[in-house]
Amino acid sequence: MKQTLEKKQTLKQNFTYKTALLYDSLDILKLSNSELIESVYEALQENPVLDMEYDEIAMQSSLDYFNMISKPVELKDHLFLQLHTIKTPYDEKICSYIIESLDRHGFFSENLQEAAKVLHTDVQTLKNQLKIIQSFEPTGVAAKNSIDALILQAKKLNENIAVELLEKHAQLIIQANSNNIAKNLGCSREEAEHALKVIKTFNPYPCSEYITDHETFIYPDVHVEVEDGMLTLTPISHFHLQYNDSYMDLLKTNPVLKSYFDESKILLANINKRNATMMLVFHEIFQRQSAYFLYQDELRPLTQNDIAQTLGINQTTVSRAIMNKYYEFENDVFPISHLFVTATEKGDSSDAIKKAIREIIAEEDKSHPLSDQQIVEALKEYDFTVSRRTLTKYREACKIPNTRERKRK
């Protein structure tokens, strides 16, 4: 019995962070559809009781998911594999933080003092752990920038002159003047030429052959349709998660499978709760903004707090329910968050004011474009009263140039 418990505990510790999120009903709510699909796929690799069926019709309009899951090894996976196989003692928390913080080029560009505070450690300890990650392949990973990546490659080959050239006189490399470089470094011309030749063989972006972050696929969450003057919402399910029937008969006699089954129930319950919460929030949002879809009116002023108070739920729940969620309407896909519009002090919709500004500027004399103050006066004919400063903010939000830039000869 003890062996069974230890085995189960080890398996749980090996879960990736995204897979672990599936067992938290609040965290799973904020996942986008693409993140959910990827996380569920990872859970399938850990839990034999789970099985998944893809909805081919729903997936047809998106890129093939199997192209996403059959991609090359990711950089972070490659680094974690090296981390867990080295014999050098290391700090799991700090090294994991460094790997997870790498940007798309594989660089660690965070401020060391700030990162040390986050990790509750000192800068020197952080530097020591950073050196461990920088010792991994590809050489140059976790560098601060491309120059730093070249320095790490030069250090590995013990090319000391190249290291000094990169650290102190990197601007001379572009000139490729070996005499000038030799003078600044106090070395011979032949040594300078050798250093330049070596540096040319280095890769300023050594992690480019790896995938450094997940490709983003947008899978809409709900289909919106106007039919016979009615607005209808249809949830889009890209996959169906179920139990693997071949293991059901063994649950009573196999405690390990039983534990997997218990975890499966939690996961399925959380996914169902996620979908139900999302649709509850979506229905209220689209009901509030129905005139926008039915009659092409402006969006009404609407905040997340409005939805939360109406539904009697926490505003954080609303925020997570709309985070990275999309709706499909007339063969286009839009973020749910775009349906939220702030109101002016008088209660007017900022969306309506922006639309009026566009109309006013579209009709202006291009040889004598209106000033922001003149647009403020023109808005009064639309029954909108805004300050010049507010007008400027709206104009810039609409990406409309200022008066001088709009003037045509």
Fold of the CATH domain 350-406? Arc Repressor Mutant, subunit A (1.10.10)
Q: Can you state the angle between helices 92-100 and 112-119, rounded to 10 degrees?
A: 130
Rounded distance between C-alpha atoms, residue 195 and residue 200, angstroms: 9
* Cβ pair 94, 125 in contact under 8 A: yes
* Cβ pair 255, 4 in contact under 8 A: yes
- Contacts by 303-312 with C-beta closer than 8 Å and gap 24+? 303/340, 303/342, 304/340, 307/281, 310/284, 311/280, 311/281, 311/284
One digit per residue, pLDDT tens: the chain, 409 residues?
A: 333 333 333 333 333 434 444 556 667 888 888 888 878 888 887 888 888 776 655 555 444 333 433 344 578 878 887 888 788 889 988 998 899 888 878 899 888 888 888 888 999 999 999 999 999 888 899 998 888 888 999 898 888 888 888 888 777 777 677 788 788 888 888 888 888 888 888 888 888 767 555 445 678 899 999 988 899 999 988 778 888 777 777 777 888 888 888 888 888 888 999 999 999 999 999 999 998 898 877 778 888 889 999 999 988 899 889 988 999 998 888 889 888 876 555 556 677 788 888 889 888 888 888 888 889 888 887 777 777 777 887 888 788 888 888 876 4
Would you state the structure tokens that stand for residue 222, as one six-digit string?
Answer: 């709900």
Enter the pTM of the model: 0.49
Tell me the residue type at 181: I
Rounded distance between C-alpha atoms, residue 372 and residue 358, angstroms: 12
Rounded distance between C-alpha atoms, residue 61 and residue 14, angstroms: 34
Rounded distance between C-alpha atoms, residue 362 and residue 369, angstroms: 10
* DSSP category for residue 296: -
Would you state the structure tokens that stand for residue 92, as one six-digit string?
Answer: 């799991």
- Contacts by 335-343 with C-beta closer than 8 Å and gap 24+? 336/221, 336/282, 336/285, 339/285, 339/286, 339/289, 339/292, 339/299, 339/302, 340/285, 340/302, 340/303, 340/304, 341/299, 341/300, 341/301, 341/302, 342/301, 342/303, 343/301
Per-residue confidence (pLDDT) for residue 55, from 0 to 100: 61
Query: Three-state SS string across 31-53, please?
Result: CCHHHHHHHHHHHHHHCCCEEEE
- Encode pLDDT of 354-374 as tens digits: 888 888 988 888 888 888 888
* DSSP category for residue 246: G
Domain ranges of the chain: 1-48+217-341, 75-200, 350-406
**Residue 207, C-beta contacts closer than 8 angstroms, at least 6 positions apart:** 75, 102, 105, 106, 138, 140, 141
Which residue in this structure is represented by tokens 């139900």? 276
Would you state the structure tokens that stand for residue 269, as one six-digit string?
Answer: 């319950």
